[in-house]
Amino acid sequence: MTLVKFCGAVTGREVQDMAAAGADLVGLWHGVPGGHADLSRHRLTELADTARAAGLTPVLVTLCADGETLTAALRAARTPWVQLHGFQPPALVRALKRHAGEDLTVVKALHLRGGRCLEAPLLGAYARTGTDVFLLDTATAGGALGSTGEPLDAASATAVADRLTRPFLLAGGLHARNRAAYARLVAHPRFLGVDVDSAARGSDGLLSAPRARAIRETWTAAPA
């Protein structure tokens, strides 16, 4: 089964639309200073409740590296997944597992730039401290992380995937027409699913049910 996550919802309607489009997970930003979809803890909690009611798993997506702050937010919003999208140390993964619960699913983003993974020296440490899922994404030359819309380099991502001992999600410029470019990654034994933001947005900048549905149908279809 291919999991499909859409990221950066800021309204209840977006969350409900992603559920109607067949998503499995919805990303809710918290602790992303200056981010276009950053939510207060109160709003995070509200949208996490909306997600659960709609049958979606809410994912707290963050750049924060403070264990106490994240644990408090995870408990308040009752989010069973957290996505560490910055350069948080492996020790934070262990701390979150200890304080937020061993049943917490921790996703650690790995940033690829110029053909190399910026976290490559820490892959083993992230796995040992309890990372459940990795996410392969693009980092821009200017240092932007996540929701950049820049395509993930398939060859570089495959080289990283071959080193992993945990399942992985793909992100970075994915849309309803470029699955073929990532055929080797989709066929990889540790491929878990996709995480999409930019390509799922309509002209109003909000997550769009028709766009999300097209992406979900493309990426979950059986290979030709």
Q: Give the Cα separation of 42 and 103 in Å (integer).
A: 23
Q: Specify the CATH number of the domain 3-220.
A: 3.20.20.70
DSSP code of residue 56 = P
Q: Dihedral angle at the C-alpha atoms of 104, 154, 179, 56, nearest 10 degrees?
A: 10
CB half-sphere exposure, 193, CA atoms < 13 A: 18
- Centroid of chain to Cα 141: 20
Q: Where are the alpha helices (DSSP H) in the chain?
A: 12-20, 41-53, 67-77, 90-100, 123-128, 154-161, 183-186, 209-220
The residues facing 111 across adjacent strands are: 137
| pLDDT tens-digit readout, 148-160 | 667 889 999 999 9
Place 139 in a pLDDT band, splitting at 50, 70 and 90.
Answer: confident
Dump pLDDT digits (tens) for 181-209.
999 999 999 999 999 999 999 999 999 99
Instruction: Name residues whose C-beta falls within 8 Å of residue 22's C-beta, 6 or more positions apart in sequence.
Output: 4, 212, 213, 216, 217, 220
Please report the pLDDT score of residue 115 as a whole number: 83
Task: Residue 211: name the closest of 3, 6, 1 by CA.
Answer: 6
Q: What percent of the chain has pLDDT over 70?
A: 95
| 116-117/105-113 β-pairing | antiparallel
**SS3 at position 11:** coil
> What digits encode the pLDDT tens for the residues 4-16?
999 999 999 999 9
